Structure 1
Amino acid sequence: MKRLLKAILPAALTEFARSARASARRKQFLKEWTSARKACVRREPSTPSQYLLIFPSDPWTISGALGDDAMISAAVQHFAERSASVSTSMFCRPGLAEGVVKSCGFHPVIIPERDSFVGSLQRILSETRADELILLGADIMDGYYDPAGVADMLVTADVAARCGVRTSFLGFSFNEYPVPELAAFYNRVSPEVRFNLRDEISLQRFQQFTSAKANLVADAAFMLRPGLVDVQVKAWIDKQRAQGRVIIGFNVHPMLIKDASVEQMDQIIRRCVEAIQGASRGRDVAFLLLPHDYRNALGDAACLRPIHESLSHDAGVHVYYLEGKHRAADIKALAGQVDGMITGRMHLAIAALGMSVPTLCLTYQDKFGGLIRHFGLPGDLLLSPSVFDDDEALETAVVHFVDKLPMLRQLVAAHKAEVMRLASGNFDLGVHETA
């Protein structure tokens, strides 16, 4: 019947009906939220925190994108330093995500279905005995990917804060066009919830969108301690250095173009191959291809593996592809071994910059501008996806980046201490610093 109605009704009428249903669901959700706020019973949390509750940005995969792994690991490291006996629980979806949470040593907390979500929050907060709630805002809080999921996070943060739980969003970015309906949620959240924005541009956009108070920080992933360097990769790097080559980390992925077609994917791969070949002509340079997201079709291997295959038979190019899955801390350690990083993943850029390595960014969702501003880096280090439409644009940018590395390294070094100070602000639950 639904298919029949969809087929015979005008598109405008179908869209009106869909919008009306969404509006009704939103009003009901707000009504349930109001009831939950009234039922909150406040208690005093332990100091230092003994029970940490984490709400990840992707409750389906938890850490398929290594940026999530980096932020989670940095937070857990921070709280473990404050209390050796801290116990950690994590919200997740049922199924595979539960296993991921358990493998990290955390207790899984299944996110309730939408129609019972709000009513379950007090029970969850009581069962987890949460002293502190950390929510990973990452790049989702403008609603670009999942407005309903953002609403769930905001309601969770509000109810937790009203129950006395110390509550904060780790530094997140905010794009230029947030989903308008989310303003009603942001404006109702308890002033005790700490919203951390990870760059000045995002902070300005957030303040224009909502009356909620916010703080300027740098990304929490800057606080992640580097792990171990893969032995085989280190041997390859050492060999390249012994032959006088500059080492460049390289990363590209399908999400640089939204809903990329097969033809667009082929073009990304072709341009990257041409750029690496062009940069290798007349320069002592080697490229380390680094995946930073392992999510199947959206993962970086979809681009990086065919790039490696195309270049592996070119005697004039020195290239290595990092096989397997690796933790964010180990990738950060590896990022510290290269001389420059070219990446389309912001958290790989953060890993590199956190290790004092200059970065050329292939941007999407206007997330990178505030990051390079933290380090006083020039705007020409931001490349839009249109670079793949030009025969020589990417190659030219890569060549210029390699040639400017000594100057760029000085800029990164000059700003790093202040960026690290800002990053530590993610875990400062004092008063709001900005209005």
Structure 2
Amino acid sequence: MRLLVNTSKQIARSLSCYIARQRKSRRGVLVCSAPVPERNRGDQALLAVVVDELERRGAGPLTLLTTSNHPIESLDVTPQRWIRDDLFHLFLTRRSFREEIIFPSLVSKHRHLVMIGADVLDEGYGIERSVASMHAIELANRVGVETRIFGFSVNGPPSAGLQSRMNQLGQKTRLFVRDPESFRRLESVATPGIEAAGDLAFLLHPAEASELQPAWLAFAAEHAGRLIGLNLTQVVLGLYGSEETRLNIVAEACRRLALEDGLRFFLIPHDEPEGIAYLRSFQHRLEQEGERISILIDPLAHSRCLKRIAGMCEHVFTCRLHLGIATLGMGRPMTGFPYQGKFEGQFELFGLSNDGLIGPDQFPKTAEEMFNLMRNRISQSDSLALQVQSRLPSVLELSRRNFDGLGTEPSRRPG
């Protein structure tokens, strides 16, 4: 009986692909979203950029497809933009028969399928998600749709299974790799179809200052030239171990920087609600002596607003890569608390030393050491900013490569 059921399902899958392959009229782009397009501001930035760029290039109409049970909320449905939230199981598991039957018909209506790769394809978030997502792309290839993976990374040596899937996918799918370290990892195992690119989020347009809350603007105006951005997350500091001790070290160092150097701090969450709650707790720790030396970005603003805020800071210290990318994208320097090999490749693009990456082995053991480290990094802010600004145009060009051949690139104004 099980054999009969499995055979029937395979016939149904094949028939679905065959019928979809006969479609003659194809228009626009099917966009497979990043997994958490709202609560995670990095994912939100990636999707916003893809929609902005594809619509700017006239590549539509667009169908936005969720790839998890997290909805898309910050983008509206329009006559040229639709949202589907009923097929996300296709990207989570191969045990999604209903979705596998529906998907070929949907994707075959489009000329292109693009998947926002980021870091969800390299098995760091589970082998099954990696397998299922790549299978979805293969279904699109079977029905004759042009496919590509936007700006993704491989945060360690690829496993044998990942190598095999990438080798098969790269025969037909354009694989845009967002950092040179990931590119070398894939190149070393002869992965076909890989192209050097940049992270999509560098192309995010920042919000206008007028879109920020008045309290944030007032704090920035009062402490202009003395603002430091700070993002701390339990995901990272929990991985580092001795979390409470490390939080106390950072808090004491920041209090000294406020007292001795007059610095003030923007506490910038990246996720909601957990990111806000974590930094609110840190703020109580930071200001236990009563003086107001920080402001928390609460409620958590859109990723465009966070990019504008990062640009107001002299220097940003962050656990989250995409806040770092927002900072670099505004021409400002950052120091990272890295995890999963995510920061190193971005630093390489800007010619920045890994001295600016403070992993668990380099994390200061005392508040005195942290104070000196932060003061030293902040003292280099002007020279680091010049370095970032000199490399930013070439990085932006790499990011635009993701869209090569999609729609028409409008003429850019001189300067």
Aligned-CA RMSD value: 3.0
> What's 1:363 paired with?
338
Q: CA shift at 1:416, angstroms? A: 0.8
> What's 2:194 paired with?
214
Which amino acid in structure 2 is aligned with residue 272 of structure 1? V
- Greater Cα shift, 317-326 or 199-208: 317-326
Which amino acid in structure 2 is aligned with residue 286 of structure 1? R
> What's 2:84 paired with?
107
- Greater Cα shift, 145-154 or 202-211: 202-211
Taking structure 1 as reference, are residues 275 and 104 closer, same or farther at Cα in structure 2, changes over 3 Å only?
A: farther
Does the CA-based 8 Å contact 1:142-1:177 persist in structure 2? no
Asked if 1:240 corresponds to 2:218, the answer is: no
CA distance in 2, matches of 1:148, 1:425: 29
Does the CA-based 8 Å contact 1:54-1:135 persist in structure 2? yes
CA distance in 2, matches of 1:134, 1:361: 29
> What's 1:300 paired with?
275
Asked if 1:144 corresponds to 2:124, the answer is: yes
Which amino acid in structure 1 is aligned with residue 286 of structure 2? L
Q: CA shift at 1:111, angstroms? A: 2.6
Taking structure 1 as reference, are residues 293 and 178 closer, same or farther at Cα in structure 2, changes over 3 Å only?
A: farther
> What's 2:3 paired with?
none
Does the CA-based 8 Å contact 2:364-2:370 persist in structure 1? no
Which amino acid in structure 2 is aligned with residue 124 of structure 1? F
CA distance in 1, matches of 2:194, 2:150: 11
1:190-201 equivalences in 2 (<5 Å): 191-201=171-181
CA distance in 2, matches of 1:412, 1:36: 53
Q: Report SS of the residue matched to 1:137.
A: strand
Give per-residue Cα distances to partners, 1:2-38, cap 9 Å, x unaligned: xxxxxxxxxxxxxxxxxxxxxxxxxx9xx99996898
1:266-415 equivalences in 2 (<5 Å): 266-294=244-272, 296=273, 299-314=274-289, 318-388=293-363, 390-391=365-366, 392-415=368-391
CA distance in 2, matches of 1:174, 1:259: 19
Does the CA-based 8 Å contact 1:281-1:316 persist in structure 2? no
Q: CA shift at 1:268, angstroms? A: 3.0
Q: CA shift at 1:186, angstroms? A: 1.6
Which amino acid in structure 1 is aligned with residue 87 of structure 2? I
CA distance in 2, matches of 1:359, 1:257: 18
Give per-residue Cα distances to partners, 1:306-342, cap 9 Å, x unaligned: 2211223446672111111221111112212222111
Does the CA-based 8 Å contact 1:187-1:212 persist in structure 2? yes
CA distance in 2, matches of 1:154, 1:341: 35
Taking structure 1 as reference, are residues 125 and 235 closer, same or farther at Cα in structure 2, changes over 3 Å only?
A: farther
Does the CA-based 8 Å contact 2:181-2:345 persist in structure 1? yes
Does the CA-based 8 Å contact 2:41-2:271 persist in structure 1? yes
Asked if 1:127 corresponds to 2:106, the answer is: yes
Does the CA-based 8 Å contact 1:387-1:393 persist in structure 2? no
Q: CA shift at 1:158, angstroms? A: 2.0
Q: Report SS of the residue matched to 2:30.
A: strand
Give per-residue Cα distances to partners, 1:126-182, cap 9 Å, x unaligned: 235233222121122220121111111111112213323232111122112434322
CA distance in 2, matches of 1:162, 1:184: 18
> What's 1:427 paired with?
403
Which amino acid in structure 1 is aligned with residue 282 of structure 2? I
Taking structure 1 as reference, are residues 338 and 162 closer, same or farther at Cα in structure 2, changes over 3 Å only?
A: same
Which amino acid in structure 2 is aligned with residue 66 of structure 1? R
> What's 2:410 paired with?
none
TM-score (norm 1): 0.80
Query: How many percent identity over aligned positions?
Result: 23
- Greater Cα shift, 179-188 or 334-343: 179-188
Which amino acid in structure 1 is aligned with residue 275 of structure 2? D
CA distance in 1, matches of 2:358, 2:135: 36
- Unpaired segments ≥5 residues, structure 2: 1-6, 78-82, 407-415
Does the CA-based 8 Å contact 2:32-2:113 persist in structure 1? yes
TM-score (norm 2): 0.83
Taking structure 1 as reference, are residues 385 and 80 closer, same or farther at Cα in structure 2, changes over 3 Å only?
A: same
Asked if 1:53 corresponds to 2:33, the answer is: no
Which amino acid in structure 2 is aligned with residue 380 of structure 1? D
Q: CA shift at 1:410, angstroms? A: 0.8
